[in-house]
Structure 1
Amino acid sequence: MSSQESGESLEEAVQNLQYMQQVYQNQYTTISREINAVMDYINELNAAKTSMEKFERIKNSNILSPIGSSIFISAKATEEAKVLVGVGGGYLIEKEIAKAIEYLSSRIEMHTKNMQELMKARSKAEDAMFEISTKLDKILKQA
């Protein structure tokens, strides 16, 4: 059914399509920001995992440990070292290095799957924008 048959004027049809295009553009932008945030977090997790995997080399050595705001404290990496792992809600759990690596690996996997779902959603929004743009072009050429 064309816009004329449904009682919608050409101007109204164009305005509705432009509105829908803007909605999908906003959705696309929001999802893109979420993807970037998830990617940053995955990179952070990977860096922590890599550091823990290299722990064997620094055991019983003096290290500099960040305590925030580009401030470091000298510490000794002991053989029986354990790490505190953030598990959400401000809670930390003490874990052995190997268990912390497993935990980080599972978090990386979970967030990677989430990012893939976000990428699918972004692709759908992009497809919808393209479809609307095509309809707009068609309507404007007929006018």
Structure 2
Amino acid sequence: MASEGAVLEKMNVEQLKAVKEQTDLEVNLLQDSLNNIRTATTRLEIASNALHDLSLRPQGKQMLVPLTASLYVPGTLDDANKVLVDVGTGYFIEKTMAEGKDYCERKISLLKSNYDQLIEVATKKKSIADDAGVILQAKLKQLAQTP
């Protein structure tokens, strides 16, 4: 980080503005990605819990089946050991209950790993943006004081 500060010190005002704007933009994009990962992780955790609850229900059990987020239709549980797993872009794969749970857990683990890596990158970018802002303010103040 010390070397980045030295590099930033050598930049002129316009270069510092560009670095600050670019890193601020990158931080915002990373924050959006972090929010998307949190949302996806929450959905997978809900799906994993739903699979667990479904595995506890007896065959022939009457239940409401979600067609959309707000539309449910009555249905009967035929085989709780087979589930359809949404693997993205409209593709579904039939899996056993155990395979479905394993799929959810692996995806959650992957997302949490990606989240941790993005946090590190976002923290570094935020630090660079903050350093550039401080140096930029100091240079602008210095320019304002010189006749």
Normalising TM by the smaller chain, what interval? 0.7 to 0.9
Q: Which residue of 2 aligns with 1:113?
A: 113
How much has 1:19 moved relative to structure 2? Answer: 1.6
* Structure 2 unaligned regions, length at least 5: 1-5
Query: RMSD over aligned Cα, in angstroms?
Result: 2.3
Question: CA contact under 8 A between 2:55 and 2:97: conserved in structure 1?
Answer: no
CA contact (8 A) 2:54 2:80 kept: no
User: What is the aligned partner in structure 2 of residue 45 from structure 1?
Assistant: 44
In the alignment, what sits opposite 1:35?
A: 34
User: Contact 1:59–1:78 (CA<8 Å) still a contact in 2?
Assistant: no
Name segments (4+ residues, structure 1) moved above 4 Å: none
- State the TM-score, normalized to the length of structure 2: 0.82
- Which secondary structure does the structure 1 equivalent of 2:67 belong to? strand
Which runs of 5 or more structure 1 residues have no equivalent in the other structure?
none
What residue in structure 2 maps to residue 24 of structure 1? Answer: 23
Give the Cα separation in 2 of the matches to 1:89 and 1:79: 25
Deviation sequence 1:71-114 (CA, Å, 0-9, x none): 11111123554111122343221111111001110010011111
1:15 Cα shift? 2.0
Which amino acid in the other structure matches residue 85 of structure 2? V
* 8 Å CA contact 1:38, 1:111 repeated in 2: yes
Q: Deviations along 1:49-91, whole A, 9 cap, x unmatched? A: 0011112432232110111251111111235541111223432
Q: Whole-Å Cα distance in 2 between the matches of residues 80 and 57 of structure 1?
A: 8
2:132 matched to which residue of 1? 132
Query: Partners in 1 of 2:94 and 2:73 — Cα distance?
Result: 20
Alignment of 1:83-102 (within 5 A): 83-102=83-102
Matches within 5 A, 1:4-83: 13-60=12-59, 61-68=61-68, 70-83=70-83
For 1:89 and 1:137, the matched residues in 2 are separated by 47
On the 8 A contact 2:80/2:97 being kept in 1, the answer is no
The aligned length equals: 136
Moved more, 75-84 or 44-53: 75-84
Counterpart AA for 1:82: K
Taking a change above 3 Å as real, the CA distance of residues 99 and 73 of structure 1, as seen in their structure-2 partners, is same
